[in-house]
Amino acid sequence: PEIIEIVEDEEEIEETVIESTETTQDEIIEEVEVMEEDLDVDVPFAIIEDVPLFPGCERVKKSERRKCFQEKIQRHISKNFRYPEIAQEMGIQGRVYVQFIIDKDGTITGIRTRGPDKNLEKEANRIIGKLPTMTPGKQRGRPVRVPFSIPITFRLQ
């Protein structure tokens, strides 16, 4: 059988006192300063409070700025569009999906393209890379990064 040894325990254990969590109406609550965390998140174009401003949209009513932004992007794409010669010769056409970020300083960064051909992707990248610096989008009054996606259709006539 197992032998149980009895040992003298002289070590004192400090007991933890658990205070009551009940409060009364007379109790004074101390002010707690709320620190807003730095918004380092991307806020999608569809839900951002203040959309990025494309140059020329500054005087437009706030409710019309989203529409103005999209019209100016379309106009920029149409104006700078050049069908790649090699793609024309090979009869390549299709839709290139472009995603980019309008950064906190209004510059265009992180351009990513996905399409049927590398030459079409390269042209879409060139067009978006030529976008002007914008007034950044704002969430809660602070500039934030705003991802934006747009399809560019390459069609031979």
The tokens for 132 are: 């002007």
The tokens for 58 are: 């500054």
Which residues share a beta bridge with 147? Answer: 101
pLDDT tens for 92-131 read 999 999 999 999 999 999 999 999 999 999 999 999 999 9
Closest CA relative to residue 127, chosen from 111, 138, 145, 144: 111
Contact yes or no for 91/157 (Cβ under 8 A): no
User: 136: how many CB neighbours lie within 10 A of its CB?
Assistant: 20
pLDDT tens for 9-57 read 777 767 788 887 787 778 777 777 766 555 467 888 888 999 999 999 9
Contact yes or no for 88/155 (Cβ under 8 A): no
Architecture in CATH for domain 62-154: 2-Layer Sandwich (3.30)
> What are the sequence ranges of the domains in the chain?
62-154
